[in-house]
Structures are given as C-alpha cells and as structure tokens.
Amino acid sequence: MRKLIRNVRVMDPGDGFDAITDLAIADGRIVLREERIADFPADEELDGTGLIACPGLIETSFHAHSPGHDRDGDMASELRAAVAGGITQVLLRPDTQPVTDTPAVVQEQRQLAARLGLARVHCAGALTTALQGKALSEMAAMLDAGVLLFSQAKVALPDAALLRLALSYAADLGRPVWLHPEDVDLAAQGVMHEGGLSLRLGLPGRPAAAEQVGIYRDITVAALSGCAVHFPQVSTASAVALVAEARRRGESVTCGVSIHNLLLCEQDVGFFNNHAKVLPPLRTIAERDALRRALASGTISAISSDHCPWGVDREGMTFVQAPFGISAVEWLLPLALRLVDEDILDLMTVLGLLTQGPAQVMGLPAPSLAVGAIADMCIFNPDTYFTLDPTRSWSRGQNLPYGQWQLRGQVLYTLVAGRIVYRG
C-alpha cells in the first residue's frame, strides 16, 4: 500500500523537524519527506491541510483485562480505544487475571494482539510470581515468550531483600524493571491522598510520604543491583527530586507521570467520585504543579494515560469498594494538549513525552518521521474542539473524571506500518 499525505505539518520530536510538507509511504516506511512530491503513484492520498502528523503515540501503562473479565474490557475493545487516540504502541500491565507471570499468558496476549492488527502490543512480565512479592517469576522463560520488560504493576514489594534479588536477576537479562514505589505499610489500605479531603470524607488516606519512602528505598536497592529501573507514575515532588538526584549520580533511573496527576488534584474526588479513584492517588495542587515543573525541566521522561477501564458493575460500588483506575487512553492527546494551552510545555515537548520518551524508557527504537522510518503515525487536527462524552468511548470503561470537559485535538488517522488502523 502506497500512501501520500499532502500538505501536512510534520512534527517529529526525534529530530525536531517541524514544517508543512508532503509524506510518501511505501512498504510500511516513509520514503519521501519533501514539499510537493511529484511522480509518486499512491493507492490513497490524504489531504493533511490544517493537520499535524507526529510519530504514533506510545502508551506505557495499558490495562486491557486480557486475560481477565470482559465486562471490564478486552484486547479488542481497548486496542480500538487506543488507536482512536492516535496510539500505535502499548505496554500491557502484568496485573491481569491471572497475572502475566507465565509464558502461556504472554503468548496468548501476543497472539490476540497479532490477530487484531491494531496497535503494536508489548508485554510486561510480572517481576514476582502473582505480583505477590514473595518469589521471583520465571523471567527467562517469559523473555523467550516475548516480554519486553518486567514490572510490578501497581504492587509495591514489601520485602527489600527480595527486591534486591529480583533486580539483580533481571539485570542479568538486560531488561529494565518497572516499579510502583510506595511503602506498603504507610500506604496501607488508603483509597485516596491523605490530606484535608480524606480527613473530611473519613476515607483512609495514602500519604505522600509513602511514595517518598518507597522510592528512596527502591532507588537505593537498585543501585546495588545494576538494574535499570523505571517508575511509570510518580506523583510527588519529593519522588521526582530523588529520581533527579539518582540521575545526577549517573544511575539508570527514570520516571514517568500519568496525565491525571498533571491535570487533577485530590479535590476532584469531590463527594466520593469513584471515577477519580486512581493509583497513585490524585494529590495536592502543590504536588501537581511540582510535577508540571519537572516535566519542563526534563526529569520526567513520559506521560501516560495509565489506562484502566472498569465496566458498569463498578458504578454500584462505594468508593472504598471500587477498584483503582481511570479509562482515558482515547483522550490522552487532547488531555495532554491542555498542558500546551496552560503554557506548561510547548507542543513539540508534549509530543516528545508521548512518543520519544516512552520509547526510551521501554527500550524501543526511537520513533521518527524521517525518511526510512517505519510509518507509525498519528495525524490529528489540533483545532477541533469537542466536549468529552464518556458514553461515546471505544473503551468498555466509562470510568473517567473528564466527562463534559472541553478539549481540543481530534485524531483523524492512526497508521501502523503505513496501514490506516483508525479513521476519525
């Protein structure tokens, strides 16, 4: 399939290229990037006037309940949501049901994804058996089955000695380990940020100190092991500072942030809004602003939607009973454009945090729109404004606190290896 995209603003955070030009695609790769391409017979020509083309977005935290209960979503429903959001690659979280801790689960995930042919799917294997933090999982076997890296999903390890061994073992295999940094005893059974609002609502809180203590321990132990570690969702200024400090010492430590912690705060829980129940919890405005500053300073590598859909069954639960998670992969780009509109970051930096940064922390080749690059691409209209309606979602989860938000940025085409997998 040969495609020609005319007159589109190409924004490539890889090489900083930003100009209105034409793009020609053949055999899944970009073959020409120049103005007014002539003599390129294409099967389809797209008019890119007024649109932006950027490398396909990469979601670093993606839950598709596969395997799991399909009332909450499945590989097909959630990947459709992802490509509708301009996402061309996702990393599956291992906290599935059963947990992704055997080659069989990994093979099933990869086969399902291959059959669907939507976004590229990468698997994360559980670092410990059933994520329980009691025994190392069979990492080499999972690696042979095709996992990209190892992760503890949203479960902190209670045992620092086991963490040290797990990181050392993973270091042999040359793959990074993703950790949820939190002191399990301080976090305890907390269901939201510990602060003024949790006190008013009488809900058990997770103090910011739990993340600070947890990340300090994890960074210290990681330095003993020689393993690269990544914290996919940090939520506090102190955690970011500890990551920055470790990086200054030359340690292989990176962190990401979820869009929720950049746009929302504890007050969004309101009177028991289940849709704002998420891990790490929504914190104070001061923490939110510190995370925004850390984005601008480059300490944070990636922005994620931390996609976790839950079916309508959850709506009948109390805030305490409801599981953690927000379903927002489809709206990651429009939500991230809020950061541009609020003068936190420029557009190129935001796109970098959704493409380059995720690829880097996952150990993937850098996405690019240069000639010769694989044509994974998101083409969107930055000036289409809309009101977010959760009921019109591809995802099976309508659990997001952004209903009725006015956003801009509509994805019109998502391309994976030159093939259009979504048309808006």
Partner 1 sequence: MSPSTFRFGEGNLQYDAQGRLRHLLSIEGLRERELLQILDTAESFLSIANRSVKKTPTLRGRTIVNLFFENSTRTRSTFELAAKRLSADVLNIAVSTSSASKGESLIDTVDNLMAMQVDGFVIRHPDAGAAHLIARHLRESALVVNAGDGQHAHPTQALLDVFTIRRLAGPIENRVVAIIGDVLHSRVARSQIHALSILGCPEIRVIGPRTLVPEDLTALGVHVYHDLQAGLQGVDVICALRLQRERMESHRLPSLDEFYRRFGLTPTRLQWAAPDALVLHPGPMNRGVEIASEVADGPQAVILQQVSHGLAIRMAVLTLLAGAVGGGDEHA
Query: What is the contact surface with partner 1 in residues (CB under 8 A)?
Result: 195-196, 199-203, 270-276, 312-313, 315-321, 391, 398, 401, 403
Q: Between 68 and 311, name the residue whose CB sits nearer to partner 1.
A: 311
Q: Between 146 and 204, name the residue whose CB sits nearer to partner 1.
A: 204
Instruction: Tell me whether strands 406-416 and 377-387 are parallel, antiparallel or unpaired.
Output: antiparallel
Find the radius of gyration of the CA atoms of the chain: 21
Burial of 27: CB neighbours in 10 Å, binned 0-12, 13-18, 19+ = exposed
Q: Are 340 and 346 in contact (CB under 8 A)?
A: yes
- Phi/psi for 133 (5° steps) reads 75, 25
Q: Are 134 and 128 in contact (CB under 8 A)?
A: yes
State the minimum distance, in angstroms, from the CB of residue 391 to partner 1: 7
Q: Are 350 and 12 in contact (CB under 8 A)?
A: no
Token output for 377: 């691409």
State the minimum distance, in angstroms, from the CB of residue 335 to partner 1: 17
Q: Between 36 and 200, name the residue whose CB sits nearer to partner 1.
A: 200
The dihedral sign for the CA sequence 310, 60, 246, 347: negative
Q: Between 259 and 276, name the residue whose CB sits nearer to partner 1.
A: 276
- Selecting among 183, 306, 313, 383, the annotated active-site residue is 306
What does the alpha-carbon distance between residue 74 and residue 379 come to, in Å, rounded to a whole number? 25
State the minimum distance, in angstroms, from the CB of residue 194 to partner 1: 8
Instruction: Fill in the amino acid letter for 338.
Output: R
What does the alpha-carbon distance between residue 10 and residue 105 come to, in Å, rounded to a whole number? 38
For 260, residues 6+ apart whose C-beta sits below 8 A from its C-beta are 278, 282, 306, 326, 328, 401
Q: Are 335 and 328 in contact (CB under 8 A)?
A: yes
Closest-CA residue to 177 (of 116, 131, 108): 131
Closest-CA residue to 183 (of 223, 228, 150, 217): 217
State the minimum distance, in angstroms, from the CB of residue 404 to partner 1: 8
Q: Between 39 and 318, name the residue whose CB sits nearer to partner 1.
A: 318
State the minimum distance, in angstroms, from the CB of residue 276 to partner 1: 8
State the minimum distance, in angstroms, from the CB of residue 271 to partner 1: 5
Helices 332-341/347-354 angle, 10° precision: 150
Q: Are 60 and 384 in contact (CB under 8 A)?
A: no
172 is catalytic: no
Q: Between 217 and 275, name the residue whose CB sits nearer to partner 1.
A: 275
The dihedral sign for the CA sequence 387, 389, 392, 397: positive
State the minimum distance, in angstroms, from the CB of residue 231 to partner 1: 27
Q: Between 6 and 193, name the residue whose CB sits nearer to partner 1.
A: 193
Please identify every residue annotated as catalytic: 306
